Structure 1
């Protein structure tokens, strides 16, 4: 699998978004509700940096030019910042759905030391 790393780096370098100063997570479409929630959870600095990168890339696109090579996104700077938050929100929603789908059967009288029966709809 070591041969995959250079191949993936070559692919990401040639995808072009780094030449516009963008990071991979900047390319995630914002229309999804989960992505909207994730964007709201970004730190103020990360949110500002994202908007700056997007506007700068838009300007480059309008002028049909790339950034100077010194301003391209470097491989080690292209780490996921939005995907972990998206995974966290998805896990929270799954947990919420699981909790909402639980059925709790209460007994009329429970002896000391025992608890009510809990069943899941799944």
Structure 2
């Protein structure tokens, strides 16, 4: 499955390419991929059959380097799992509160019916 892309349109127009390059560099720097050492092609989803065939054509060194970069990126500090645990705890608390049964106290002057 391919995704729509504006890249071919932009690459055919040098003036637009000059305008977009600083924006793309800014985005890529702020996305954090360079801090992890990843390359742009490392972000291509591997589930596609064509990508699988292309990965088989990589040289042994490039395939090793790619796997090394991916493993290093995955072994970085956990940034999402603490938030997932927090959301799960909130969900559990919400379910507990929604299923809570409240019994009203009787007023001091009322008699209990037996």
What TM-score does the superposition give when structure 2 sets the normalisation length? 0.51
Equivalence for 2:4? none
Cα displacement (A) at 1:61: 4.1
Bigger Rg, which one: 2
Counterpart mapping for 1:1-122 below 5 A: 1=16, 2-62=18-78, 64=79
Write the distance in 2 (CA, Å) between the matches of 1:44 and 1:53. Answer: 14
- Structure 1, unmatched stretches of 5+, are 65-122
- Structure 2, unmatched stretches of 5+, are 1-15, 80-114
Write the distance in 2 (CA, Å) between the matches of 1:39 and 1:61. Answer: 27
Higher relative contact order (CA 8 A, sep 6+): 1
Write the distance in 1 (CA, Å) between the matches of 2:65 and 2:52. Answer: 16
Cα displacement (A) at 1:54: 0.3
CA-atom RMSD in angstroms: 1.3
Equivalent pairs, count: 63
- Could you list the structure 1 runs, at least 4 aligned residues long, displaced by more than 2 angstroms after superposition: none
Write the distance in 2 (CA, Å) between the matches of 1:32 and 1:4. Answer: 28
Greater strand share, structure number? 1
Write the distance in 2 (CA, Å) between the matches of 1:28 and 1:61. Answer: 22
